[in-house]
Amino acid sequence: MHAAWDGDDSPVVGVVDAETAAIDAIEIDTALESVVADADGTITSGTLETVLAAEPSVLVTGGEATLSAVARAGVDTPVVPVGPLTGIESVDRRRLPAALEAVLDGRAVRRECPVLGVTLESTAGDERDVPAISERALFDVTLITDEPARISEYSLRDRETDIATFRADGVVAATPAGSHGYASAVDAPHLSPSVDAVAVAPIGPFVTQTRQWVLPTDALTFAVEREESDASLVVDGRSVGAVTVDSQVSVSLADSLTMLAVPDV
C-alpha cells in the first residue's frame, strides 16, 4: 500500500542507535538539528527502548540490523531507513537532512513492508516440555545445517498441503525485501514489494535441478524430516534456536512495518 504521510505538528524524531556496528550509526549534526528545529520538532536518540519511550512521530534507522530490530519490536511508528539496504527503498546517508525535511513537510510516501511471524515449536507431544520460540522477520527465515555440506532432509507445507520434500543444506523463505538479499544468492525468485507472498528456495540442494516457490504468507510449515547434522533456525541473520526432527517452524504474516520514502530526494 502506498499513501502520503502527513507528518505531525511539533514532531519528535527518534534516531535509533545501531545495534551491531558503528558504521551504521546516524550522526546528529547541525544540518539535521536545523531541519528538525525548523519544523518546531525535537530529536531524541539512543537505544530503541529509549527512543520509543519518547513516543516519536518518526524513527530514523541506520543499517539492516537496526531496521530488523524495529520490526521485531512491533512498533507502528513510521521509519526512515538510512544507508544501503538491499530490497528496501532507503535514504543515502549524505542526503538525510534533505530527506528528513521532506518527511516533516509531509512529502514522504508510505511503503508497507510485510513482517513475518515465526514460531519454532516441538512436535513431540507431552514427551518434552520445550517452550515455543516466537520471532518476527522483516527479511528472511532460514533453516540451515550447522555443519557445512552435511545434507539433511527438509519438508515444506502450505496450509496443510504438502508442497515438497528435499535434501539440502537448508531452506530459506524471504519477504519481498529479503528476496533481493541472501535469498537471491540461492536463486530464490525476486518479489515485487506489491506481492503478498514469500520466496522459498533450498540451500545447497542435493539435486542440482530443484524448484523454487512463491507462496502465500498465511500458513507455511517447515520441518526437518531426517537429519545428518544439527540444524539452526536463523531469523534476519540471528540464530534463534535448534530445529530437530521433533520440531517444526511455522511462518505466517504478522503485520507490516511502515517505511517512509522520498522519491524526489
List pLDDT tens digits, range 161-185.
999 999 999 999 999 999 998 899 8
What's the structural domain count of the chain?
2
Instruction: Verify that 141 and 183 share a domain, yes or no.
Output: yes
Q: What is the CATH number of the domain that holds 174?
A: 2.60.200.30
* Angle, in degrees to the nearest 10, between helices 30-38 and 96-104: 10
Last residue of one domain, picked from the residues 72, 107, 142: 107
Quick check: is 93 in a domain? yes
The residue-averaged pLDDT of 199-205 equals 93
Quote the mean pLDDT of the chain: 88
Smallest CA-to-CA distance from 226 within 124, 130, 151 is with 151
- Asked if 32 contacts 43 with a C-beta cutoff of 8 angstroms, the reply is yes
- Asked if 132 contacts 246 with a C-beta cutoff of 8 angstroms, the reply is no
Please write the tens of the pLDDT for every residue from 46-74: 999 999 999 999 999 999 999 999 999 99
Phi, psi of 154 (to 5 degrees): -115, 150
Question: What residues make up the domain containing 6?
Answer: 2-107
Query: Residue 1: what pLDDT?
Result: 41
Instruction: Verify that 102 and 152 share a domain, yes or no.
Output: no
Quick check: is 219 in a domain? yes
Instruction: Verify that 92 and 132 share a domain, yes or no.
Output: no
Q: What is the CATH number of the domain that holds 43?
A: 3.40.50.2300
- Asked if 43 contacts 50 with a C-beta cutoff of 8 angstroms, the reply is no
**Residue 142 reports pLDDT greater than 50:** yes
Q: Which amino acid is at 141?
A: V
Q: Which amino acid is at 14?
A: G
Quick check: is 260 in a domain? no
The residue-averaged pLDDT of 178-201 equals 91
Please write the tens of the pLDDT for every residue from 119-128: 999 887 655 5
> Any idea how long the chain is?
265
Query: Residue 120: what pLDDT?
Result: 95
Last residue of one domain, picked from the residues 107, 142, 164: 107
Instruction: Verify that 149 and 181 share a domain, yes or no.
Output: yes
Instruction: Verify that 161 and 89 share a domain, yes or no.
Output: no
Give CA–CA dist 143/240, Å, rounded. Answer: 11
- Asked if 156 contacts 171 with a C-beta cutoff of 8 angstroms, the reply is yes
Supply the DSSP symbol for 191: -
Instruction: Verify that 121 and 225 share a domain, yes or no.
Output: yes
Query: Residue 75: what pLDDT?
Result: 93
Instruction: Verify that 99 and 122 share a domain, yes or no.
Output: no
pTM of the complete model: 0.90
Contacts of 197 (CB under 8 A, 6+ apart): 176, 191, 214, 215, 216, 217
Instruction: Verify that 197 and 177 share a domain, yes or no.
Output: yes
Give, in order, the Cα–Cα distances in Å from 6 to each of 40, 75, 110, 121. Answer: 15, 18, 10, 42
Instruction: Verify that 88 and 122 share a domain, yes or no.
Output: no
Instruction: Verify that 67 and 143 share a domain, yes or no.
Output: no
Smallest CA-to-CA distance from 79 within 177, 164, 163, 205 is with 177
Helices (H) then strands (E): counts for the chain: 5, 17
Give CA–CA dist 198/188, Å, rounded. Answer: 10
Instruction: Verify that 157 and 218 share a domain, yes or no.
Output: yes
Last residue of one domain, picked from the residues 89, 107, 125: 107
Instruction: Verify that 211 and 179 share a domain, yes or no.
Output: yes
**Residue 148 reports pLDDT greater than 50:** yes
